[in-house]
């Protein structure tokens, strides 16, 4: 299974997240196809990575994410089914990417955005995505899991009109949720959707606290604020100490 990393420009932490994420799929990933870095590839990536430089076109995060995934599809860099990832996704258990489940955070997208919340802009994006899907009487499942998520090039080509409409939304639409819900309207849609709670860690004072936060999941994610402490770096050194084939 090919994995497309949507990488932004610049990193507050010297791209340690991407390095550790790549090490994690090297250590635990089974049936890993091509690894594609779409965006602004860093200079320490090896030739085992497909590097796709895509200049920034949009100011809004979700507009730019959609642009980068569409670029890979429209230019034939990926085809068929693939997984999309962010640099802050880390694997801690053996994971077969050819048989990776279809996870959903909830069976309905959020219907309101409360001003003053930390994630107000993100919430507003989900609300606008819900309204767009409802407009065309499509499913409104929330697929915003912080782990690798399925996408399909044929869906993105066949529903290009829908994806293009997301650029008219003030906050844009997360590619994972808009594409997966469109996919569910096709005759080749996935049969099983597994609902599970999400895990993104924002604070940890020890490796044990990180492991407790991950629980029995195979994958977890982090927020920038976790770097205010030393625990996450200690975890990385313990869990992913060795250079992998994706690093020069």
Tell me, what's the pLDDT at 10?
66
Note the pLDDT of residue 25.
97
* Distance in angstroms (rounded) separating the CA atoms of residues 24 and 19: 9
The tens digit of pLDDT for each residue in 63-98 reads 999 999 999 999 999 999 999 999 999 999 999 999
Domains and CATH numbers, the chain: 3-106+144-239 (3.90.550)
Rounded Cα distance between 236 and 238, Å, is 5
**3 state SS of 246:** coil
Quote the pLDDT of residue 193: 95
Residue 116: the pLDDT is 66
DSSP 184: T
- Residues pairing with 200 in the sheet: 221
Alpha-helix runs per DSSP H in 184-223: 207-214
Where the chain has pLDDT below 50, the residues are none
- Alpha-carbon distance of 174 to 172, in angstroms, equals 7
Contact present, 105 and 143 (Cβ < 8 Å): yes
CB 246 within 8 A of CB 35: yes
pLDDT attached to residue 117: 60
Distance (Å, whole) CA 61 – CA 41 = 17
Q: Tell me which residue has tokens 């936060």.
A: 213
* Spacing of C-alpha 142 from chain mean position: 13
Residue 38 contacts residue 106 (beta carbons within 8 Å): no
In whole angstroms, give the CA distance from residue 55 to residue 173.
Answer: 19
**Exposed / middle / buried, residue 233 (Cβ in 10 Å: 0-12, 13-18, 19+):** middle
Number of residues that this document lists for the chain: 248
């Amino acid at each position: 299974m090919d994995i497309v990393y949507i990488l932004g420009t610049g990193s507050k932490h010297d791209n340690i997240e991407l390095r550790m994420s790549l090490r994690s799929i090297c250590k635990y990933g089974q049936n890993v196809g091509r690894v594609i870095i779409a965006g602004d590839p860093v200079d320490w990536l090896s030739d085992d990575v497909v590097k796709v430089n895509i200049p920034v076109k949009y100011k809004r995060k979700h507009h730019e994410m959609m642009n980068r995934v569409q670029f890979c599809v429209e230019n034939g860099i990926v085809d068929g089914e693939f997984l999309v990832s962010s640099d802050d996704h880390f694997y801690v258990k053996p994971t077969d990417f050819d048989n990776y489940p279809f996870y959903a955070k909830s069976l309905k997208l959020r219907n309101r955005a409360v001003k003053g919340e930390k994630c107000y802009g993100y919430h507003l994006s989900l609300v606008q995505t819900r309204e767009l899907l409802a407009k065309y009487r499509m499913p409104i499942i929330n697929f915003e899991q912080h782990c690798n998520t399925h996408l399909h090039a044929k869906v993105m080509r066949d529903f290009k009109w829908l994806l293009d409409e997301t650029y008219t939304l003030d906050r844009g639409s997360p590619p994972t949720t808009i594409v997966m819900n469109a996919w569910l309207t096709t005759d080749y849609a996935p049969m099983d959707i597994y609902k599970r709670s999400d895990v993104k860690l924002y604070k940890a004072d020890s490796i044990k606290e990180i492991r407790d936060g991950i629980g029995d999941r195979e994958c977890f994610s982090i927020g920038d604020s976790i770097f205010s402490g030393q625990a996450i770096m200690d975890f990385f050194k313990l869990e992913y100490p060795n250079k992998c084939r994706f690093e020069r």
